[in-house]
Amino acid sequence: MKTLFDAGQFAPKDRAAAFEAAFANAVSPTRVRFLTEHPASIQARVTGTQLHRNVTLVHTVNTSAVHERTEEHRNRTGPDRIAFVLFDGAPGYYEHHGHHRPLRRGNLFLTDLNAAFNYRCQGTGAGFSIQVERSQLEANVETIRSADHRLATSPLYGVVHDHLASLATHAPLLTSHQAREATAEATITLLKGLVASTSQDDHQRRAAVHDHLLDRVTLYVRMHAADPDINPDQIAAAHAISVRKLFQLWQSQSLSLNETIMQLRLEIAQRRLLAQPNLTIAAVAHASGFIDASHFSRRFRNTLGYTPTDWRALHRSVPVPPNNAATAPNPAVVR
């Protein structure tokens, strides 16, 4: 992810103002007040990447601070964006749409970036957010406001939480345009389902969960392809469905479930072979989800026409993707 702001690059007296400007550009215009009397102790960093023209990932870390978006800020025009935030900092509190609640590590919450809000964290505050244009969620302001209060009641809450946690780790590794586009598309679908499933209408809730089941399963497979223990029983159990139901869902895909996992693992292996040229073939195999190096080499050669060693030598002159993108499967593989 690209560094958008680093307090260490500014003189202590300029850090607060510079961070406020960077936060306004990356997230939303707010008033930022650091809870320290010593400017030299202010630490803050903002990184981000754009998956799609309507989907942006932002990671923010800063020392104790208050972020306040007031009515004054609301009068400024700007993109109509919604942020889904995975909080990973010291305890604090959050006020949005008149509701006041505690913030704890691991919380997933939703923020209308055009609304007034107040966030306070006494200690290191950290959050990974995915910002989406509201039009992509097909939800009006009242629906978003209702979803904000009921997010944790959604049956999709855990799935979206885990997906954002995986993105926080793997986003820097999505180096190709195709991978970013596919990830953005799948993420928007999940977020739409999350918002719709917070409805108090039982029929609408059930429909939202059902409609997005295949998307959830597909994302799970993408994110866990390198797990050597992944299997249909595990995938089905993670989504509270039977193995039979899982295979019925997967019938619409161009590759079988096992073929998809194998193709994703070979993608991971190809990237790791280039990004870590000193890693042994056995280590590459293990890191890509293969238990046996011989089986890995055989499948690799059958698919690509070369042994892993020969393929690495042949492609050694190919530029390695930035950020050592060796571990993330290409989400575009699964269709």
**162 closest CA partner among 106, 90, 208:** 106
Which positions ≥6 away from 255 have C-beta within 8 Å? 263, 334
- Position 130 scores a pLDDT of 92
- Position 173 scores a pLDDT of 65
* CA pair distance 109, 47, nearest whole angstrom: 20
Q: What proportion of the chain, given as a percentage, has pLDDT over 70? A: 87
Question: In this structure, are residues 131 and 101 in contact, taking their beta carbons and an 8 Å threshold?
Answer: no
What average pLDDT does the structure give for the chain?
83
Least confident of 25-34, 165-174, 228-237: 165-174
Strands lying side by side in the sheet with 44-52: 2-6, 44-52, 55-62, 125-133, 81-87, 108-112
Choose the most confident range, by mean pLDDT, from 38-47, 68-77, 160-169, 218-227: 38-47
Q: In the predicted model, is pLDDT for residue 334 greater than 70?
A: no
Q: In the predicted model, is pLDDT for residue 107 greater than 60?
A: yes
Q: In the predicted model, is pLDDT for residue 319 greater than 70?
A: no
Q: How confident is the model at residue 189 (pLDDT cuts 50, 70, 90)?
A: confident
Ranges assigned E (strand) in 63-122: 65-69, 81-87, 92-96, 99-103, 108-112, 117-121
Q: In the predicted model, is pLDDT for residue 147 greater than 80?
A: yes
Question: In this structure, are residues 20 and 31 in contact, taking their beta carbons and an 8 Å threshold?
Answer: yes
- Position 152 scores a pLDDT of 84
pLDDT digits (tens, 9 = 90+) for 239-277: 878 999 999 889 888 899 999 999 999 988 998 898 888
Cα-Cα-Cα-Cα torsion 10, 14, 17, 19, nearest 10 degrees, comes to 20
Q: What does the pLDDT average to over 182-205? A: 76
Q: In the predicted model, is pLDDT for residue 76 greater than 80?
A: no
Which tokens hold the place of 114?
Answer: 């055009």
- Position 206 scores a pLDDT of 58
Q: How confident is the model at residue 115 (pLDDT cuts 50, 70, 90)?
A: confident
Which tokens hold the place of 78?
Answer: 């700007």
Q: In the predicted model, is pLDDT for residue 289 greater than 90?
A: yes
| Cβ count within 10 A of residue 233 | 11
| Cβ count within 10 A of residue 45 | 18
